[in-house]
Amino acid sequence: MKPLQNDTFLRALRRQPTDYTPVWMMRQAGRYLPEYRASRKHAGSFMQLCTSPSFATEVTLQPLERYPLDAAILFSDILTVPDAMGLGLYFEEGEGPKFERTLQQEEDIQALQVPDMAKLHYVFDAVSSIRQALDGRVPLIGFAGSPWTLATYMIEGKGGTDFLTAKKMAYARPDLLHHLLNITAQTVTQYLNAQIAAGAQAVMIFDSWGGALSHDAYQRFSLAYMQTIVAGLTKTAAGEPVPCIVFTKGGGLWLESQAAIGADALGVDWTVDLGEAKRRVGHQVALQGNMDPAILLSTPAAIEAEVARILASYGHGHGHVFNLGHGITQWTPPEHAHALIQAVKTMSPAYHQA
Amino acid sequence: MKPLQNDTFLRALRRQPTDYTPVWMMRQAGRYLPEYRASRKHAGSFMQLCTSPSFATEVTLQPLERYPLDAAILFSDILTVPDAMGLGLYFEEGEGPKFERTLQQEEDIQALQVPDMAKLHYVFDAVSSIRQALDGRVPLIGFAGSPWTLATYMIEGKGGTDFLTAKKMAYARPDLLHHLLNITAQTVTQYLNAQIAAGAQAVMIFDSWGGALSHDAYQRFSLAYMQTIVAGLTKTAAGEPVPCIVFTKGGGLWLESQAAIGADALGVDWTVDLGEAKRRVGHQVALQGNMDPAILLSTPAAIEAEVARILASYGHGHGHVFNLGHGITQWTPPEHAHALIQAVKTMSPAYHQA
C-alpha cells in the first residue's frame, strides 16, 4: 500500500502545523450526490450499500472524485452495532431506522452480551477495501455511535426527540441503564479497534443524542462511557496511535469536560462560537466544525462569507478541521458543497503562516 | 379585585428576597391532568379551549386546585399570533399544528402587516376572565412566541427540527427574513401589551426554536427581536412595571447576551448547570428552570433527589423560580408533579435564610 500522500487532516487532529485547514463533510457520501443515488438504486437499499464492501467502497470514494477533500469516512451506519447485538435493524421507506426488539425489560437488559465481532465483518471488510481503493490519497476515518446514543435506539426502538423511555430508565433504574451502557461501550471499543486493525487511520464517536441529557446526566450516562472507549483504543498494526474525535451534537456547554477525556479532537456544532470554544478548551484538543449545513442551501456568496467568518473565529494557529456541524442535507446542490471546500482551501492558508 | 395574596413569583423575578423558591410548571394546564382531558373533550378541540374565555379560565385554574403553585399561566398557544396574521392555523389529529398558507414568496412577505389586535380579543378576554377567577391567589403570566420561533412556523407551515427553509431565507435573503421578523416583533409587542392591559402580571417570551440557530445567527435573527419586544413592553394600568422572562430552549450557550437585553429573568433548560448559569449572568437577571420533564416519569424519590440537586446548584440567595426546562409531558402521573412541587416547598426555604 502506498504511503499517505496527504496527512493534513491527521496533523490537524494532533494540533501539528499544517499549510491550510483540512476539510471534510459529515455524510459527504450521501443523497445530495447524483452518483450516490445511482449507486443506491443499483444496490437496492441503504443497508445493502453498507453491507457490501464493494458498494461501500464505491460510495465512500464518490465525493473524493468531485472535491479536494482531506479525509474519507467509512460509509456505514452507527446502528450496525445494535443490529449485531441482536435487536434487528430495519428501515421502512420514508421513515427512520427501527428495531424489531427493544431493551426495556430487566431480563432482556441483563441478558445483553458483547456480540461476536464476526457479525460485523462486512464493516471491517469495507474498511480494508476502502483503504486499498484510496491508495494513500487521504486518511480513512472509522466511526461508531456513542453508547448513550446507541442505547436510546435500543431502548426506544427508533430515533426520537424526547427519549422519554431511555430517560425514565436513567432516573428510575440507573443500574439497568449503566449495565446496558457498559456492555455497549465494550462492544464499541472492540468495534473501533477492529476498524483500526482493518486500516482506519482516525476514529470518530458520534454522540448524536448526548445533547438531550441534563448537564449532570450527560457526564454520567454519555461522557463517562466515551471516556472508557477512548481509553481502550489500540494503535495501528504499525504501532501508530490513532487520533480520536468525540462529537456530542448539542453538547457545546460541556466542551471543558469533553476535552478532558483523552480524545484528540472535539466535534462542535454551529451553536458554538469556534473562537470561544478554542479559548475554553485551550491546547488540550483540536476542534472540528462547525458550519450549519442549512447554509449550503443558500448561495455561494453566503457560503463563502460563512467560511470566512468561521476561519476568522478560530483565527491563527493549527488544530482546526473544517467541517459541518451535522450531516450534509440531501437537498444540497453539489456545486454549493464545492463552494464550501474551495473557500476553505483558498482562505485558510493565511491562518497557518508563521 | 382582591390584592395579590402571593407575590413570591413576582418578587423572585425581581431578585427580591422571598421565603422560599416559587414554583410553576410550563404547560401545567395540560393533558397529564384527567380534568384537563375532560374539559378538552367537552370543548371539542384544543383551539376551542383557547378561543373560549370560559374554557381557558377553567383549564388555567385546574392545576392550581391540585397543587400549591406560585403562578398561573394563560392557557393559549403561541400560534394564535400567526393565525391572526392571516396564515390559517389548523390542527390535524395526531399531528402538530399546521398553517394553510406559508410565507416564502417575496410578495407575500412584503405584504405582511401587523394585524388588528381585535382579531385576538379572545386571548385578552381570557386574561381578564382568568384574573377575575384567580381573585388574587397568585399572579397570572401572559406569553407569546418569539419572532424567530413564530417565523419558522410561518415560513415552513409547520413545526420542524431542521428549519431548512427558514434558514435558507436567513442566509440567501436576510432582508426578507428581517422584514418578516420586524412585522412579527411589532405584532408580539402589541399582543403582550394588550395582555398586560387585560391583567397579565408577568409575561414570558417563548423562543422554542432559537437554539437551532448558529451563535451568530441567533443574535441577529432571534435575540435582537426579543430585545425590541422587551423594550416596548408597557406598565400595568396601575403603573407597575411587568416582569418579563425570556426563554430560548437550547440557548444555554448564550446566557450572557440574553441577560443583556433588559429582561428580568431568563428561562434555562436542563442542559445548563444552574449554579454555573447564575455565575455567568451575575446579578443582571433572575433564572427560571430547569428540571428535565422526563424525570417526572421516574419515581418520587428520583424527583426529590433532582429537586435537591437543582436547589443546591442555584444555592443560597434569591432570584430563582423553580420550573421544568420544557413543558410537562402528557405521560406524567399527576402525583409525580405533586412530588416535585412539594419537594420545592419543603427544601427551598433553607436557601432563603439570611
Q: Do B200 and B142 meet the contact criterion of CB atoms below 8 Å apart?
A: yes
Contacts of A217 in chain B (CB under 8 A): 292
Of A164, A172, A299, the CB nearest to B329: A164
Cβ of residue A271 closer than 8 Å to a chain B Cβ:
yes
State yes or no: pLDDT of B70 exceeds 90.
yes
β-sheet bridge partners, residue B73: B141
* Active-site choice (B40, B66, B137, B220): B40
- The average confidence (pLDDT) of chain A is 97
**CA distances in angstroms from B55 to A308, B123, B202, listed in the order given:** 54, 12, 21
**Cα Rg for chain A, rounded, in angstroms?**
19
Among B20, B32, B70, B77, the active-site one is B77
Instruction: Give the span between the Cα atoms of A25 and A292, in whole angstroms.
Output: 11
User: Does A299 contact chain B (CB < 8 Å)?
Assistant: yes
Do residues B209 and B168 make contact, with C-beta atoms less than 8 angstroms apart?
Answer: no
Close Cβ partners of A239 (under 8 Å, ≥ 6 residues apart): none
CB contact under 8 A, B294 and A329: no
The residues of A assigned a catalytic role are: 27, 31, 40, 77, 153
Determine contact: B301 vs chain A, CB below 8 A. no
pLDDT, one tens digit per residue, over A101-122 is: 999 999 999 999 999 999 999 9
Selecting among B14, B31, B66, B173, the annotated active-site residue is: B31
Contact A297 B172 (CB under 8 A): yes
- The DSSP output letter for A295 is G
| Domains (range + CATH), chain A | 8-352 (3.20.20.210)
B-chain CB neighbours of A306 within 8 Å are: 171
Angle among Cα A74, A77, A79 to the nearest 5 degrees reads 145
Instruction: Output the pLDDT for position A160.
Output: 82
Among A161, A175, A221, A253, most B C-beta atoms within 10 A, so best to mutate, is A253
Average pLDDT over residues B54-61: 98
pLDDT in tens, A20-47: 999 999 999 999 999 999 999 999 999 9
CA dihedral B165, B166, B171, B176 (to 10 degrees): 110
Q: Quick check: A299 and B172 CB within 8 A?
A: yes
Q: Which are the contacts of B112, defined by CB distance < 8 A and separation ≥ 6? A: B85, B103, B179, B180, B183
Q: How much is the pLDDT for A95?
A: 81
Residues in chain B within 8 Å Cβ distance of A257: none
Instruction: Answer whether A253 sits within 8 Å of B253, measured CB to CB.
Output: yes
pLDDT of residue B60: 98
Whether residue B101 lies in the annotated active site: no
Using the predicted structure, report yes or no on whether residue B238 has a pLDDT greater than 90: no
For residue A65, which phi and psi values (nearest 5 degrees)? -75, -30
CA dist A149 and A73 (Å) reads 19
CB pairs < 8 Å spanning A and B = 93
- Quote the pLDDT of residue B197: 97
CA torsion angle A166 A170 A176 A177 (round to 10): 60
Choose the weakest-confidence range: A69-73, A220-224, B9-13, B90-94: B90-94
Yes or no, beta carbons of B252 and A253 under 8 Å apart: yes
Indicate whether B20 pLDDT > 80.
yes
The answer to whether the CB atoms of B168 and A270 lie below 8 A apart is: no
**B53-66 and B34-43 are packed helices; what angle lies between their axes, rounded to 10 degrees?**
170
Closest Cβ opposite residue A172 in set B171, B253, B298: B298
DSSP calls for A99-131: ESS---SHHHHHT--PPPGGGGHHHHHHHHHHH
State which residue of chain B sits closest to A211, comparing Cα positions: B271
pLDDT band at B2, cuts 50/70/90?
confident
Look-up: residue for cell 438504486?
A41
| Among chain B residues, CA nearest to A327 | B162
Neighbours of A114 (CB within 10 A): 17
- Which band of pLDDT confidence, cut at 50, 70 and 90, is reported for residue B354? confident
Over residues A299-317, the mean pLDDT reads: 97
Q: At residue A225, does pLDDT exceed 90?
A: yes
The model's confidence at residue B6, banded by pLDDT at 50, 70 and 90, is: very high
Q: Which residues of A touch B309 (CB under 8 A)?
A: 216
Residue B270: the pLDDT is: 98
Pick the residue from chain A with its C-alpha nearest to B251.
A271
For residue A350, the model assigns a pLDDT of: 97
Do the Cβ atoms of A271 and B218 come within 8 Å? yes
First to last CA, chain B: 34
pLDDT at A161: 82
| Average pLDDT taken over every residue of chain B | 97
pLDDT in tens, A159-201: 888 999 999 999 999 999 999 999 999 999 999 999 999 999 9
B284, B259 in Cβ contact below 8 A? yes
Residues of chain B contacting A211 with CB distance shorter than 8 Å: 271
> How close B120 gets to chain A, by Cα (Å)?
32
Question: Does B31 participate in catalysis according to the annotation?
Answer: yes
Residue A222, SS3? helix
Please give the average per-residue pLDDT across A257-270, as a whole number.
98
Return the minimum-mean-pLDDT range out of A76-80, A93-97, A144-148, A236-240. Answer: A93-97
Angle at which helix B147-156 crosses helix B164-172, to 10 degrees, equals 110
> Which amino acid appears at position A279 of this protein?
R
Q: Which of A262, A178, A284, A156 is nearest to A222 (CA)?
A: A178
Confidence of residue A91 (pLDDT cuts 50, 70, 90): confident
Q: What is the pLDDT, as a whole number, of residue B92? A: 81
A296–B contact, CB cutoff 8 A: no
Indicate if B220 belongs to the active site.
Answer: no
Residues from chain B contacting residue A336 (CB–CB below 8 Å): none
B253 near A CB under 8 A: yes
| Binary contact (B270, A215; C-beta < 8 A) | yes
As a whole-number percent, the residues of chain B with pLDDT over 70 amount to 100
Closest by CA to A169, choosing from A220, A238, A203, is A220
Q: Indicate which of A214, A257, A306 best probes the interface with B, i.e. most B CBs within 10 Å of its own CB.
A: A214
Chain B nearest C-alpha distance from A118 (Å):
37
pLDDT of residue B207: 98
Cβ pair B157, B102 in contact under 8 A: yes
Confidence of residue A96 (pLDDT cuts 50, 70, 90): confident
Element (H, E) at A255: helix A255-259
Crossing angle between the packed helical segments A334-347 and A53-66, to the nearest 10 degrees: 60
Q: How confident is the model at residue B160 (pLDDT cuts 50, 70, 90)?
A: confident
Question: Of A219, A233, A235, A240, nearest to A263 (Cα)?
Answer: A233
Digit-coded pLDDT (tens) for B193-227 = 999 999 999 999 999 999 999 999 999 999 999 99
Cβ B172–A214 below 8 Å, yes or no? no
C-alpha cell at B55: 374554557
User: Is the backbone of residue A160 left (phi > 0), alpha (psi -120 to 50) or beta?
Assistant: beta
Please answer yes or no on whether B217 and A292 come within 8 Å at the CB atom.
Answer: yes
Over range B59-86, report the average pLDDT: 98
- If one counts every other C-beta atom within 10 angstroms of the C-beta of residue B177, the result is 25
Rounded Cα distance between A349 and B15, Å, is 50
The three state secondary structure string of chain B is: CCCCCCCHHHHHHCCCCCCCCCECCCCCCCCCCHHHHHHHHHHCCHHHHHHCHHHHHHHHHHHHHHCCCCCEECCCCCCHHHHHHHHCEEECCCCCEEECCCCCCHHHHHCCCCCCHHHHHHHHHHHHHHHHHHCCCCCEEEEEECHHHHHHHHHHCECCCCCHHHHHHHHHCHHHHHHHHHHHHHHHHHHHHHHHHHCCCEEEEEECCHHHCCHHHHHHHHHHHHHHHHHCCCCCCCCCCCCEEEEECCCHHHHHHHHCCCCCEEECCCCCCHHHHHHHHCCCCEEEEEECHHHHHCCHHHHHHHHHHHHHHHCCCCCEEEEECCCCCCCCCHHHHHHHHHHHHHHHHHHHCC
Quickly state the pLDDT bin for B335 (edges 50, 70, 90).
very high
Cβ–Cβ below 8 Å for A299 and B164: no
**What average pLDDT does the segment A92-100 reach?**
86
Cα of A227 to nearest chain B Cα, Å: 20
**Which residues touch A278 (CB under 8 Å, ≥6 apart)?**
A287, A314, A315, A317, A319, A320
pLDDT of residue B169: 98
Which residues in chain B are closer than 8 Å to A273, comparing Cβ atoms?
215-216
**Rounded to a whole number, what is the distance in Å from the CA of A170 to chain B's nearest CA?**
8
Which is catalytic among the residues B15, B27, B131, B269?
B27
Most B-contacting residue of A271, A332, A336 (CB-CB within 10 A), to test interface? A271
Q: Cα separation of A232 and A188, whole Å?
A: 10
Residue from B208, B280, B292, B331 whose CB has the most chain A CBs within 10 Å, to mutate: B292
pLDDT tens-place string over residues B268-279: 999 999 999 999
A271/B217 CB distance under 8 A: no
